Amino acid sequence: MGEIVLNEQSLQLMKQFEDITGAGSRDCIVDERNERLIFVINPGDMGRAIGKQGTSIKKASEDLGKKIEVVEFSNDAEQFIKNCFLPARVVSVQIEENDEGEYVANVDVEEEDRGIAIGKGGKNIFKANKLAERQHDIVSVQIITDENL
């Protein structure tokens, strides 16, 4: 796994998020392009992070002043990538080594969930790429389409 460098802003945001929700996190990305904060939540803390009827995540979003998205961490790279795309239904994740010795992931998503997986303006594929690289040294995450089969 690559070395994740957290700056002071990310560390402060993670502390605030934990104080508000009670959920521990291991990474935080400030995504200015999509005006959101993305937290990688410790395994088992997703319920705390969201709260009953979304109350915890809503409060955190209000207090921190940005839309918040959470992804549950997994040591298993395939499961982690599936978590990045929730609620889209992922059929399979194939992780392969390319000619440069880097790892890439090809993700097959249910046809009707492809739009959800990509996200408006590609924001969900952006999130998956950023997090997979930081958490599991996977340099590229691509959604398989009929064109690239």
Domains of the chain, start order: 8-72 (3.30.300.20), 87-148 (3.30.300.20)
Instruction: Kindly tell me if the per-residue pLDDT of 144 is higher than 60.
Output: yes
Average pLDDT over residues 11-17: 95
Task: Provide the whole-model pTM.
Answer: 0.90
- Residue 148 has a pLDDT of 47
Token pair, residue 43, equals 């395994």
